[in-house]
Amino acid sequence: MSTGNRAAAKRARNAKPRRTHRFQAEQHNARISPRKVGLVTTMIQGKRVEDALNELSFDNRRASTMVRKVLQSAVANASSIAGLDPMDLKVVHAVANEGFTLKRFHARGRGRGAAILRRNTHITVAVA
């Protein structure tokens, strides 16, 4: 009873994919709404670093400059730690999480008050 081929096929089928090392950079408490940054992070996710940097440099949103700086930091981490070529990297993860919220008060008519929520963002970009 020869099981060499079946065992090899089973090993290949059950083998876990090799994880490539991710290099990430974060910016905490950026004074911009996560909703605005989320539009930019979804735009660059899954793209090559060269294309993402090109898109961010020509995008005229305020969040684009913040995300571009975080992306450049992640690329610098990958090139300095592992010696990877920046043009071979790809944006594998880009997210804008909600940071703390500054609560302010705005006076309204008839003695009432309205809340002003000044939201902050944690920007995370990972490349591999």
Q: From the first residue on, what is the mean pLDDT of each consecutive set of 10 residues in the chain (128 residues)?
A: 69 72 96 98 97 97 98 96 92 97 97 97 97
| Residue 58: per-residue pLDDT | 97
Q: Cα–Cα distances in Å, from 68 out to 54, 96, 118?
A: 9, 13, 22
Whole-model pTM: value is 0.83
- Looking at the structure of the chain, the number of domains it has is 1
What CATH number is given to the structural domain containing 118? 3.90.470.10
Tell me the torsion sign for CA atoms 67, 79, 46, 121.
negative
| Residue 11: per-residue pLDDT | 77
Q: Is 11 domain-assigned? A: no
Q: Is 108 domain-assigned? A: yes
Q: Is 9 domain-assigned? A: no
| Residue 9: per-residue pLDDT | 79
Q: Is 53 domain-assigned? A: yes
For residue 65, give both structure tokens. 């400059």
Cβ-contact 71, 49 below 8 angstroms: yes
Q: Is 64 domain-assigned? A: yes
| Residue 18: per-residue pLDDT | 64
Q: Is 67 domain-assigned? A: yes
Residue 14 buriedness (CB in 10 A; 0-12 / 13-18 / 19+): exposed
Q: Find the domain containing 28 and state its range.
A: 20-127
